[in-house]
Structure 1
Amino acid sequence: MNGVYRVLIALVLLVAAIASYSMGIQSGVFLFIILGLVLEGAFWFGLFSTKRRNEAQ
């Protein structure tokens, strides 16, 4: 189930970023565009996150 939640969260972040960009362009409020950039960054960093392995010595 962990993979399903990860994909679901990524899709929600992407949709929220697109909606924020749209609101920023329509209303002219620059804060929505900044919010869209933050949400898109969270999407990309979450998509390509690295997994750390525990190496016992």
Structure 2
Amino acid sequence: MNYSFIDFQRISKALTTSSEALRNEMQTDEMQSAELQEAENNLRQALSFGLSTPK
């Protein structure tokens, strides 16, 4: 079996950098900023869960 290493730290850093770039590039209103923050939080939460196989 082949196993892949998922670098969650790198994914998180890329997400943060991308979110900051979007905020700086776009003229976002409050609602768009809130939606972007919610999406970032949801993805961070999803990435915080470890991957495991059922026993």
Aligned pairs, number: 50
Unpaired runs of 5+ residues, structure 1, are none
What is the TM-score normalised by the length of structure 1?
0.51
1:33 alignment partner in structure 2: 34
Calculate percent identity across the aligned residue pairs.
6
C-alpha RMSD over aligned residues: 3.0
Which has the bigger relative contact order, CA under 8 A and spacing at least 6? 2
Q: Once the 2 structures are TM-superposed, how far is the Cα of residue 14 of structure 1 from its aligned partner?
A: 2.5
What is the TM-score normalised by the length of structure 2?
0.52
- Cα deviation digits, residues 14-52 of structure 1 (max 9, x gap): 3334x27x83xxx451213211221122013202x1322
1:2 and 2:5 correspond: yes
1:13 alignment partner in structure 2: 15
Structure (1 or 2) with the greater helix fraction: 1
Cα separation, 2, equivalents of 1:34 and 1:15:
17
Runs of at least 4 residues off by over 2 Å:
14-17, 50-55
8 Å Cα contact 1:16-1:39 kept in structure 2: no
